[in-house]
Amino acid sequence: MTFGYFNILGVDSLKATFTNSGEPCASDYIFINPYPDCELYENKLAIYTSLEKKLDDFVKVSIASGKANKISIWSRDLTTRRFVGINENTEYAGASLLKLPLMIAYFKLAEVSPEILQKKISYTVNPNLYSGQFFKPKKELVPGTEYTIDELIERMVSYSDNTATALLALNVNADLIRKVQQAVGIEITLDSGETDRLVTARGYGSIMRTLYNSSYLTRELSEKAILYLSRADFAEGSPAKLPKEVVVAHKFGERAKGENSASNTKELHDCGIVYAKNGEEPYSFCIMTEGNDFNSLLSVIQDVSGIIYTEVIKPQ
């Protein structure tokens, strides 16, 4: 199909000039990207159609069995942009996932003032937030020790260190963090009591694509951000059912509400990038869960991550 006035303008000559492995990639599209890796694009359509059915079935069974009260999933192929979403717009507490925008805020400052990452902050005994974490960091800050902001950022992201996060939050403008959240596509809302920042799997998943495409930070700082995510000390999360050699750059978040109530509701989330097929076919993912037991929610995250990976690498 062609449009007459494009022939006049000569735009039609642009078609079929994009190549895939040296061969012409036929396309009738002019106004959209005509080259999302042609053959792979069609393969991924079948993959993500099948994946959606498997994930939907899994979610229904898991909720019916009581493993979780809510499950939301978002995954996007970063090469072809095919995606799948299950309850992807359901809201959850941001919890530790909000550490990622804080890192991005500091890196945004570092684009103008690189020296900020080497600024040192002395850690005393306060704040000390380790006791409130169910999944505790493998390493903790040592009182009486100075840490650079870059070191605190790595601990915040790689170890999900709440204490390091508190120190960093005290040394940056809150307005900047809000601007970063908006810039990377997170829709932050407050619950009815205005205590929790709420996010969605789809909204948070956009951060991973932004980092991968280095569309907000410089390439150097985007690389550093994902490097820290790849060092996440939470192998029992989304990487648990993936082959050991597969690189997963991810961030998990936990939230316990109503510890003294009968409901005792908990949330556990894990979002990131999986570098499937030696990084040739990377995809982003975000899995958010709510239930009454962290270990059950962890099992859901492991299973969902495994299902996504198995479908993505399945030969066509």
Residues of the chain with pLDDT under 70: 1-41, 185-197, 258-263, 315-316
Concatenated DSSP letters of the chain = ---HHHHHHTGGGGTT--EETTEE-----SSS-S-S-HHHHHHHHHHHHHHHHHHHHHHHHHHHTTS-SEEEEEEEETTT--EEEESTT-EEE-GGGGHHHHHHHHHHHHHH-GGGGG-EEEE-S-S--GGG-SS--SS-PPTTEEEEHHHHHHHHHHS--HHHHHHHHTTS-HHHHHHHHHHTT---EE-TTS-SEEEEHHHHHHHHHHHHTTSSS-HHHHHHHHHHHHT-S-TTSTTTTS-TTS-EEEEEEEEE--TTSSS--EEEEEEEEE-TTTTTS-EEEEEEEEES-HHHHHHHHHHHHHHHHHHHHS--
pTM of the predicted model, to two decimals? Answer: 0.84
Q: Which pLDDT does position 3 carry in this prediction?
A: 39
Q: Which pLDDT does position 19 carry in this prediction?
A: 40
Structural domains in the chain? 1-35 (no CATH), 38-313 (3.40.710.10)
